Amino acid sequence: MADALIAVEDLSEEQAGQELTRLAAAIAHHDALYHGNDQPEISDAEYDALKRRNDAIEARFPTLVRSDSPSQRVGAAPAGIFSQITHARPMLSLDNTFSDEDVADFVASVYRFLGVMPDNSIAFTAEPKIDGLSMSIRYENRKLKTAATRGDGTTGENVTANILTIKEIPTELPADAPDVVEVRGEVYMAKSDFLALNAQMEAEGKQTYVNPRNTAAGSLRQLDAKVTASRKLKFFAYAWGEMSTMPSDTQSGMVEAFKGWGFPVNPLTRRLTSVEEIITHYREIGLQRADLDYDIDGVVYKVDRLDLQARLGFRSRSPRWATAHKFPAEQAFTKVEAIDIQVGRTGALTPVARLEPITVGGVVVTNATLHNADYIEGIGNGGERIREEGHDIRIGDTVIVQRAGDVIPQVLDVVLEKRTESSVKYEFPKTCPVCGSHAVREKNEKTGKLDSVTRCTGGFVCSAQAKEHIKHFVSRNAFDIEGLGTKQVDFFFDSEDPALMIRTAPDIFTLKQRQEASSLTRLENIDGFGRVSVRKLFDAIDARREIALNRFIFALGIRHVGETTAKLLARSYGSYAAFAEAMQEAAPKFGEAWNELNSIDGIGEVVAASMVEFFKEPRNLEVVSRLLKEVTPRDAEAVTASNSPVAGKTVVFTGSLERFTRDEAKARAESLGAKVAGSVSKKTDYLVAGPGAGSKLDKAREVGVTVMTEDEWLALIGG
């Protein structure tokens, strides 16, 4: 890092990219020191020089502007500056639908879940999906108390001072509003205000902003609320959190009530009943999209009646009673400059097209996924052609790139007319580009077909897999260690220094101790760290020495075990010891433990087998045992509703149910803290049998399980 600075006009493109990376990190570092009330390490003049250099390089190489560039941040308030607010009710997200068929499926699934014939009797609201930032605003005794961003859905940042500057948001509610009100909705910046702001920035010779959404986000994350005030942010109300009393029993009625209390609500909202009406409305909104003064990225449909919403309930992260129908993605033409391979956590080799930078829907795209070897050839997952004959993707080809929302951009098709002699057909590697092990396509035992994914067989030998594993381990839904992002993991993983390196997850937790024992390599002296960030990192690590069992299981990175499965496992086994023991016992793939694992509703044979394999591998057991010396997984709370009569009980539903659908029965039982199993065993507490129950009923009688009718079950759980 001691190299003299190269003059901006002499930088090659590659050097410019490297410099921008360095500057982004350095400026973020100094921002953190400055805002965190800690001793700044450089003078204001030196800080300004860094920013000027960043701006000058970006002006020369506009395609290299990074999304985390200081120029893209409004005032740059780094994470962790605002205090945290835990939402009284979690802020969830929505499932996406893309096609008319998806919408019809969604509507059908609502009827099916509720056990109603699809007869257009259920009304839905259709609301534009505003492309801004969701916000929860809490009023106590009709006075605005707090405002919080969504954050991870459970806790968000306290941005009350900034929200108070938004004129459209009432600070007081009328006398007829309940004592506790949490109004939720979207903060956004109008397109016209965004354009005006950019015109002003340009006139002042400053870097312009990328899009209204990012600018709105940056404007809200200002420590100085005066800056937020100057940005003219706006708001639409469409949802709620805690309410001491409900002003209505429908979605549309709630939004009307918000309007009555002085909140802006979206004028394009409709109440509709048939799939046809819904699709027609979607198309109409699509036609108006360009003329609206705010960005929208789809239309949200919600079941109108709140009692039906309550019955439908939630999947792990999103409601069953709503979906977001997204507008088609944006597309653009560009050239494939190279194809690289990325090696993932499970060894999957993913080809990535390096593109000539191109703006797609306001965002610069330089990489796009090519999914797998077949996709490059133009063959889909089921072996079908997905592009015309001859449309394999070659280096040098002109291609159509598509970007949809936050999803990774993908290469859709090749423009064959533009293919030249110099384009090169891509040979998919037969070995892992990182560790050199064989790369293979597994055969699916059931179908006998080749898997579409090519995998590195290196396992623990492959540093790419090990590194990705650590990135997964620290990620938001796993250990969620702030300060250990992609760049930091790369740094610690690549380090050869015993006082710094992190090669396996347990090493994270011994880092501080190794640092303290070493007189040589102090992390705080390394570029990009500094005293405060090191302290914060160690605090963040220590804060995770105790962790929820489901996060712990998810973090292990067992193939096929996602967040939902991890939650199921945590709930079913309760403690890590019970879980690990069961996995050992399930290893022969028959017997009680194996059957019990398979009887967990939502866990199939592939998942079960993958878990057993994981716990058979001595290397995994060794890493886990080292990890358990550092970290304590917290026993799963057996129940969400501990006062419910079925909390912690295991129930099996069988026969043709008449009082509720199977899905509804399961969702309801789980929300009351019961476990729903797919088969009867000695551990079953209740068997709820509808008409026509057969072998499960026999088995229940045989092992002495309590058998009840649907009505008896309903009486037990209170209707």
Residue ranges for the known binding site for Zn(2+) are: 432, 435, 462
Question: From the list 18, 93, 444, 640, which residue makes contact with ligand IVH (rule: CB under 6 A)?
Answer: 93
Distance of CA 533 to the CA centre of its chain: 25
Using alpha carbons, select from 558, 173, 429 the residue that is nearest to residue 579: 558
CA distance 613 to 153: 33
CA atoms 84, 85, 86, 87: torsion sign: negative
CA distance 239 to 251: 8
Q: Which stretch binds ligand IVH (CB under 6 A): 123-131, 485-493, 536-544, 643-651?
A: 123-131
Residues from 313 through 352 that contact ligand IVH (CB under 6 A)? 319, 322, 324
Question: How many Cα atoms are found within 13 Å in the side-chain-facing hemisphere of 98?
Answer: 5
CA distance 250 to 321: 12
In order of 131, 380, 386, the CA distances from 99 in angstroms are: 19, 19, 18
Comparing every residue's Cβ against ligand IVH, the nearest one is 134
Please say which residue, 94 or 569, places its beta carbon nearer to ligand IVH.
Answer: 94
Task: Please report whether residue 209 would count as binding ligand IVH according to CB under 6 A.
Answer: no
Residues from 225 through 254 that contact ligand IVH (CB under 6 A)? 238-239
Could you say which of 51, 129, 512, 649 is catalytic? 129
Strands (E), 344-456: 349-360, 363-369, 398-403, 410-414, 439-443, 450-456
Closest approach of ligand IVH to the CB of residue 682, in Å = 39
* Active site (annotated) includes residue 129: yes
User: What are 365's two structure tokens?
Assistant: 């795209």
Using alpha carbons, select from 554, 570, 624, 488 the residue that is nearest to residue 345: 554
Closest approach of ligand IVH to the CB of residue 300, in Å = 4
Task: Please report whether residue 126 would count as binding ligand IVH according to CB under 6 A.
Answer: no
User: What are 588's two structure tokens?
Assistant: 């022969």
Closest approach of ligand IVH to the CB of residue 186, in Å = 5
Strands (E), 576-673: 632-634, 650-654
Annotated binding-site ranges for NAD(+): 44-48, 93-94, 127, 150, 186, 302, 326
Please say which residue, 300 or 697, places its beta carbon nearer to ligand IVH.
Answer: 300
Which residues, 6 or more positions from 293, have their beta carbon under 8 angstroms from its beta carbon?
190, 191, 192
Task: Please report whether residue 29 would count as binding ligand IVH according to CB under 6 A.
Answer: no
Please say which residue, 24 or 126, places its beta carbon nearer to ligand IVH.
Answer: 126
Task: Please report whether residue 130 would count as binding ligand IVH according to CB under 6 A.
Answer: yes
Task: Please report whether residue 583 would count as binding ligand IVH according to CB under 6 A.
Answer: no
Residues from 495 through 514 that contact ligand IVH (CB under 6 A)? none
**296: β partners:** 130
Annotated binding-site ranges: 44-48, 93-94, 127, 150, 186, 302, 326, 432, 435, 462
Name the H helices within 448-559: 463-474, 486-494, 505-517, 531-542, 549-555
Position 364: which residue type? V
CA distance 458 to 436: 8
Task: Please report whether residue 186 would count as binding ligand IVH according to CB under 6 A.
Answer: yes
Please say which residue, 144 or 285, places its beta carbon nearer to ligand IVH.
Answer: 285
Task: Please report whether residue 134 would count as binding ligand IVH according to CB under 6 A.
Answer: yes
Closest approach of ligand IVH to the CB of residue 699, in Å = 39
Residues from 654 through 683 that contact ligand IVH (CB under 6 A)? none
Q: Which stretch binds ligand IVH (CB under 6 A): 126-134, 413-421, 556-564, 677-685?
A: 126-134
Q: Which stretch binds ligand IVH (CB under 6 A): 127-135, 561-569, 603-611, 618-626?
A: 127-135
What 3-state class would DSSP assign to 219?
helix
Q: Which stretch binds ligand IVH (CB under 6 A): 86-94, 408-416, 419-427, 556-564?
A: 86-94
Please say which residue, 93 or 632, places its beta carbon nearer to ligand IVH.
Answer: 93
Is 14 exposed, middle or buried, given 0-12, 13-18 or 19+ CB atoms closer than 10 A? exposed
DSSP-assigned letter for residue 9 = G
Residues from 379 through 418 that contact ligand IVH (CB under 6 A)? none
Please say which residue, 389 or 406, places its beta carbon nearer to ligand IVH.
Answer: 406
Which residues, 6 or more positions from 327, have their beta carbon under 8 angstroms from its beta carbon?
286, 289, 296, 297, 298
Closest approach of ligand IVH to the CB of residue 238, in Å = 4
Q: Which stretch binds ligand IVH (CB under 6 A): 125-133, 194-202, 442-450, 661-669?
A: 125-133
Kindly list the catalytic residues. Answer: 129
Q: Which residues bind ligand IVH (CB under 6 A)?
A: 92-94, 127, 129-130, 134, 150, 186, 238-239, 300, 319, 322, 324
